[in-house]
Structure 1
Amino acid sequence: MALVALTLGMLGGAARATPVLLVDAESGKVLEQQEAGKTWYPASVTKLMTVYVALNAIKEGRLTPDTLLTVSPLAASQSPTKMGFGVGTKVTLDNALKMLMVKSANDMAVVIAEGVGGSHADFIQEMNATAARLGMTGTHYENPNGLPDLGQITTARDLAVLARHLIYDFPEHEMLFRIPAIRLGKIVLRNYNRLIDRYPGADGMKTGFICASGFNLVATASRNGKRLIAVILGAPSAVARTEQAALLFEKGFQPSWSIFGASSPTLEAIANSGGPATDMNVCNRKRAVAAAENEDENLYNQGEGAASYAVSAAVAAGFSKGEGAALLQNLPPSMPPIRVFVGPAGAAPAQQDDALQAAKPAPPATAAKTDGDKKSKQKTAVITPNAADAPKDGSKAAAKPDAKADAKPAASKPAAKPATAKPTSGDKAANAAPAAKPKPKAPDADDGGEPLTFGPPPTTRPGT
């Protein structure tokens, strides 16, 4: 009875009505589900299909992990979060995949798409053909990274189908989905999936956020030979998303636990409902903290007021305060940060450092210092514009961000570096802020925090 009560409290009843799904990975049996066939915007969990198509191309011998891919103008133009390498930068497919999965880099998604598919359009066609082949009947893709598009849709059921295929079609690449952090030069970038190294047994997969989708997560965990897949769509915060997944896993690992008992249906038995995706409109809600994919980190930096807001938002959405948090802990690192680099595989460290320096885009000649330079050394938490304000034709016309969600500086201040120094993570160049307020781009997909850019700050506030 206690488990049943905990489940109902975690789901928040029918009023919550956002998709939740827990599946036994090996058998495909559904252990728990709510609205699993409901149409939803995938945001950056889109990148799981981008990875699947790329790994399948390796399996078919079309390219290798060491194949060099090139950053095109289209890739470089993607909204943050991104790596921010200059046009013409070379990166191996292996490194691009690691940056994609850990940093959720939107530019690397396009680099992979163009390098694997031959063109962006051909890769999208292959994504959709793959979805059809895998039986993902409620899914359609328009881009490889999850940036807002009314035609980019999926369901929790389909995402669980995709996760199962990633696990069992490419077991040799399982580490890709559980890397806790990557190291680029002197910069360490942490995975946005905060179950990794915090929930015992967590071993994948991908987070996602845009204003219209809310906070999404496809997660996997293993214990005593049993592996589970949890899909959370439309959570009210990154904190709630993480804790909800931990609660689902904990119940799923209980002996014989299933709300369906012995008659558990399989994923294939869940019907996709069709129709338009729900717009969560997260960014237009009154919030005490900017909506970002790494919201838990932003809350830590911004103090108790912001953190208490996220807790109250989660409780209002049907979560019981503290239940999921009690299942999370700071575990010993499962592995050190994985080193990534630009340029060819096998190059000497000095050559890799030179290639990283060459990846810096040149700052504009007209850059001038402004009062904003006083905050140039500080990380900021930022909010994306509302996805509903994005043009329906998928263009990058400007959408106005919420004026109440201004960025706030983090507590720590990394040391300033000269313009020719090696890149720093998430810091704005001190001499690059334009005098006039730049016009924001269309909303970003996933994953919060600042982009790893080497030149001037982007023309839109980086979101997630």
Structure 2
Amino acid sequence: MVLAAALAFAAPRVACATEAHLLIEADTGKVLEAENATIPWYPASLTKIMTAYVTLKAVKDGKITLDTLFTVSPTAASQSPSKMGFKPGTRVTVDNALKMMLVKSANDMAVVLAEGVGGSIDGFSAMMNDTAQKLGMTQTSYVNPNGLPADGQITSARDLGILSRSFLRDLPEYEYYVHIPAIRFGKRVTQNFNKLIGRYPGADGFKTGFICASGYNLVGSATHNGRRLIAVVLGASSGQMRAVRAAQLLERGFAQNSLGWLKPSLGTVENLAPVDTSPPNLRDDMCGGHRHKPASDEDEVASNGTAGSTGAGDTNPMFYTAGLQPPVANPVALIAGAPEPNEPVVVYTGPTRTGAALIAAVAADTASQDTPKARGKKARLAAKKPDAAAEAKSDAKSEPKAATKPAAAKHANAKPNAAAKSADKPAATASDVTTAKPVKPKPVAAKKPKPTTGDGKPAASDAKPSG
């Protein structure tokens, strides 16, 4: 009788789960907090952490280099936003594709990497699943490399914690990719969707994600006094709230540095027991008609149009970090504020370049954004609404039912440029930005020019399915 009552009380918690939280130590895997951490969940763009892991493992193993060129296939170009929007045949280095994928969450770049490394989406997905099995991610399966909705694309907060730890442990020389604050492609600057970066002290990773079914997901990490923690938040109500939740978890975790003995041990992340159930589907809550605008990964407010509350039990507006540093201010205000000033990392198409060649490449990419078609669209948006051009488009309005099955993609392997480091070269950014002079858009009343051949349609501002 007692057992039955206990089960009846516990069952609704699993069935009605709308958020999952996990906080672990990066070095030891020790679990500091866990709530619904082993309930299956749709990963959305958190999938791209594994895509980056598999790709960078291939680099580390010498199978490809960061300078290797991959070609945008028709399949990659056809992916839903968020994406860069490059035409089929465009070539991109592994280095630049990774930066675009992890900062802008570009779905087309995830497919470019998948086809280049694995030959096809199916081939790369098999590599992802094999890697997940080896890492002990027992609740995870992959169907595509970008997290767009697809049957069988499942994970859990537990498995994402395991993956993030593995990334830091196995690929420490490449962790720079998971905390780039912003990228610049031509004239367009995209800030990292992870709102912890540049706002929360010590934030140094990882990735966001969103589709209607999953809600707003985030894996974030931060380091204080040499101690690194990883926070996983799944199913938050907005892009802002997932960062607020993660900040709260991190602060409580750092406060446990001296008081952890007061809490019972939760063991390590690998030992958390999986729950055998179906993942919750949050589509109605995330993308229902009650929202003032379509939900997207760039949505900064909760569905009621406000910053939202910090949740039950989180009414104290101050964070305390056990003397490690001054307390952090109200988390909502912290995350809603502007990030620290940063110099965007320049990304570009074509082979790895440095110096004058890099400046020329950036100028060419900038010029490609000043086509008559692009200028006409910008002018029409500006006439309709002054700030409309800056608003994010949402793929949530027409969320695909399943990923498109691609044919094997062609790719070109360029000889690595030994003289140039392909990882990050932010030093060239300042000159790149000033090189190309933007063309003034023609007024709306002007006769609409015919699109020129080779016109590149600008990528939609990231509203992606996963974040």
Same fold, judged at TM 0.5 (above): yes
Q: Identity over aligned residues, as a percent? A: 45
- Specify the SS of the correspondent of 1:216: strand
CA–CA distance in structure 1, aligned partners of residues 345 and 243 of structure 2: 23
Task: Give the C-alpha shift of residue 321 in structure 1.
Answer: 8.6
Task: State the partner residue of 2:41.
Answer: 40
Does residue 131 in structure 1 map to residue 132 in structure 2? yes
Contact kept? 2:294, 2:396, Cα under 8 Å: no
Higher radius of gyration, 1 or 2:
2
Structure 1 residues 54-453: aligned runs within 5 Å:
54-254=55-255, 255-258=257-260, 261=263, 263-281=265-283, 282-284=286-288, 286-296=290-300, 309-312=305-308, 314=309, 320=315, 323-325=330-332, 328=335, 332-333=340-341, 335-346=342-353, 348-353=357-362, 355-356=364-365, 374-375=383-384, 378-385=389-396, 390-391=400-401, 394=403
* Corresponding residue pairs, total: 391
Contact kept? 1:113, 1:120, Cα under 8 Å: yes
Q: 1:29 to 1:286 in 2, by over 3 A?
A: same
1:333-355 deviation per Cα after TM superposition (whole angstroms, max 9, x unaligned): 4x521111111112503541465
Greater per-residue helix proportion: 2
Task: State the partner residue of 2:7.
Answer: none
Contact kept? 1:113, 1:144, Cα under 8 Å: yes
1:379 partner amino acid: A
1:163-221 deviation per Cα after TM superposition (whole angstroms, max 9, x unaligned): 00111111111211111101122321110001101000100100000000000000000
Q: 1:233 to 1:462 in 2, by over 3 A?
A: closer
- Specify the SS of the correspondent of 2:258: coil
Q: 1:307 to 1:214 in 2, by over 3 A?
A: closer
CA–CA distance in structure 2, aligned partners of residues 177 and 241 of structure 1: 17
CA–CA distance in structure 1, aligned partners of residues 292 and 311 of structure 2: 15
CA–CA distance in structure 2, aligned partners of residues 432 and 141 of structure 1: 44
Task: Give the C-alpha shift of residue 244 in structure 1.
Answer: 0.7
Task: Give the C-alpha shift of residue 421 in structure 1.
Answer: 6.5
Task: Give the C-alpha shift of residue 116 in structure 1.
Answer: 1.2
Higher RCO (Cα < 8 Å, 6 or more apart):
2
Q: 1:17 to 1:78 in 2, by over 3 A?
A: closer
1:312-366 deviation per Cα after TM superposition (whole angstroms, max 9, x unaligned): 4x56788649552255565644x521111111112503541465269779999xx
- Specify the SS of the correspondent of 2:75: helix
CA–CA distance in structure 1, aligned partners of residues 171 and 219 of structure 2: 17
CA–CA distance in structure 1, aligned partners of residues 378 and 31 of structure 2: 57
Contact kept? 2:82, 2:462, Cα under 8 Å: no
Contact kept? 1:38, 1:274, Cα under 8 Å: yes
Q: 1:157 to 1:381 in 2, by over 3 A?
A: same
- Specify the SS of the correspondent of 1:96: helix
Contact kept? 1:57, 1:63, Cα under 8 Å: yes
CA–CA distance in structure 2, aligned partners of residues 77 and 321 of structure 1: 46
1:289-312 deviation per Cα after TM superposition (whole angstroms, max 9, x unaligned): 43111112xx5xxxxxx8963434
CA–CA distance in structure 1, aligned partners of residues 400 and 97 of structure 2: 28
CA–CA distance in structure 1, aligned partners of residues 392 and 352 of structure 2: 34
Task: State the partner residue of 1:21.
Answer: 22
Contact kept? 1:80, 1:462, Cα under 8 Å: yes
Q: Which runs of 5+ in 1 are unaligned?
A: 1-12, 300-305, 397-419, 425-429, 434-452
1:354-381 deviation per Cα after TM superposition (whole angstroms, max 9, x unaligned): 65269779999xx999987843862234
Q: What is the TM-score normalised by the length of structure 1?
A: 0.75
1:164 partner amino acid: R
1:378 partner amino acid: A
Task: Give the C-alpha shift of residue 53 in structure 1.
Answer: 0.3
CA–CA distance in structure 1, aligned partners of residues 112 and 260 of structure 2: 42
Task: State the partner residue of 1:427.
Answer: none
CA–CA distance in structure 2, aligned partners of residues 56 and 177 of structure 1: 15
1:93-148 deviation per Cα after TM superposition (whole angstroms, max 9, x unaligned): 00100011110000000011111112222111101100011000000001100101
Larger deviation: 254-263 or 180-189? 254-263
CA–CA distance in structure 2, aligned partners of residues 289 and 271 of structure 1: 38
Contact kept? 2:294, 2:394, Cα under 8 Å: yes
CA–CA distance in structure 2, aligned partners of residues 455 and 337 of structure 1: 22
1:238-295 deviation per Cα after TM superposition (whole angstroms, max 9, x unaligned): 1111111111111101133559835231011112213321101110151234311111
Contact kept? 1:432, 1:456, Cα under 8 Å: no
Give the superposed CA RMSD: 3.6
Q: Which runs of 5+ in 2 are unaligned?
A: 1-12, 318-329, 406-436, 442-446
